[in-house]
Structure 1
């Protein structure tokens, strides 16, 4: 069962909201030097992409956390300044490409940063926020959701914090599918027929069903 749905609402912020992070050039690589860095309260990482050389770095994880947008988190656009002593080697826009964390201590083990052009499109996974109370739920049905995030292609400066899906119009038996998403400025990269939400109709008791049949 399909219907006409409002556009999904991407929660966006302007590029002026990008965070800044100062990092230091890391000259020694390998597990041993990385462990010593972590013992000093620093996190090893790498900056790569755009056809340039990879740059091994070290940074303060507390500053990294402060640089991240509170809602976008690892989808934040960051301006990374790479220092070698007092010299600035590179100042570049980046997004977080990969994060390795200690699951027990919840501390950063390693972070990869990918250089980006803020106006160029990149692929990111963005969370879905389901809002509203479906009509079918008000009639006794049950809302079921199938995905918590979707992959999109969007300019790096315009990655939304989340995509809101308003389930209010959904009646009992209706589905909200990927094809019903319309995110301004972005292309959704999931299968169009994939369901995101569904209102399961209320169960009809055997007695009520028999009564209808008479």
Structure 2
């Protein structure tokens, strides 16, 4: 997985007014999920962007609400690639991946980003692009290769997740398809429905005509 360096600022204020002001400044509100609790004797003072939380009788602070600059995330968002992001907040670098994006439906501008903090020993689920390799037998026979899924959900430690899931289609014949259940990658668990079709070779008119002539001969 490629890496991407990104600076973030703690989000000082919450609410609709502050969100509008941030967006006018070319900034995007974001949240960091999955962070670990920092166990400290709480003295009643929190830094901007920090929250006091309690999980399993452990009390501590965690940074969740941040702001990033729109110009800084363009190469992270408008690409088919997936990245391990080195997110610098208050001088501390957190390793995160981008989990979700919210877009403005008309202008298509980014409204909000969800990051997930990752750890080498903790599996995550994320979508990975699919890359087709080879030349299908069915295409050679006049069929057309159709992609139904361009990304697959994968569960693994983030250090094991590849940039692409390569699928070889050399032996895919006319009218045949490859489903999620037909695919296997060492160290990765595919989370999509096993019967979901990833790609198929569809019969074209030319292929149907050739098959009909062959049957008549």
Common fold: TM-score over 0.5: yes
Cα–Cα, structure 1 residues 145 and 71, in superposed 2: closer, same or farther, change >3 Å?
Answer: closer
Query: CA contact under 8 A between 2:7 and 2:89: conserved in structure 1?
Result: yes
Cα–Cα, structure 1 residues 211 and 48, in superposed 2: closer, same or farther, change >3 Å?
Answer: closer
> Partners in 1 of 2:18 and 2:122 — Cα distance?
35
Q: 2:71 aligns with which of 62, 70, 73?
A: 62
> Partners in 2 of 1:210 and 1:160 — Cα distance?
45
- Structure 2, gaps ≥5 residues long: 38-61
Query: CA contact under 8 A between 1:21 and 1:78: conserved in structure 2?
Result: yes
Cα–Cα, structure 1 residues 69 and 77, in superposed 2: closer, same or farther, change >3 Å?
Answer: farther
Aligned to 1:50: 35
Aligned to 2:187: 185
Query: CA contact under 8 A between 1:19 and 1:68: conserved in structure 2?
Result: no
Q: Does 1:82 align with 2:77?
A: no
Q: 1:43 is paired with a residue of what secondary structure?
A: strand
Aligned to 1:208: 213
> Could you tell me the TM-score, scaled by structure 1's length?
0.75
Aligned to 1:194: 196
Q: 1:179 is paired with a residue of what secondary structure?
A: helix
> Partners in 1 of 2:104 and 2:170 — Cα distance?
40
Cα–Cα, structure 1 residues 25 and 172, in superposed 2: closer, same or farther, change >3 Å?
Answer: same
Aligned to 1:31: 16
For residues 87-108 of structure 1, the C-alpha deviation after alignment (integer angstroms, 9 at most, x for no partner) is x3x4311111221122433322
Query: CA contact under 8 A between 1:20 and 1:67: conserved in structure 2?
Result: no
Query: CA contact under 8 A between 2:97 and 2:116: conserved in structure 1?
Result: yes
- Considering Cα pairs closer than 8 Å and 6+ residues apart, tell me whether 1 or 2 has the greater RCO: 1
Q: Does 1:111 align with 2:113?
A: yes
Aligned to 2:25: 40
Q: 2:12 is paired with a residue of what secondary structure?
A: coil
Query: CA contact under 8 A between 2:143 and 2:202: conserved in structure 1?
Result: yes
Shift of 1:31: 0.8
Aligned to 1:166: 168
Cα–Cα, structure 1 residues 181 and 32, in superposed 2: closer, same or farther, change >3 Å?
Answer: same
Q: How does 1:120-159 map to 2 (within 5 A)?
A: 120-159=122-161
Q: 2:71 is paired with a residue of what secondary structure?
A: helix
> Could you tell me the TM-score, scaled by structure 2's length?
0.74
Shift of 1:119: 4.3
Pairwise CA RMSD? 2.7
Q: 1:101 aligns with which of 100, 103, 115?
A: 103
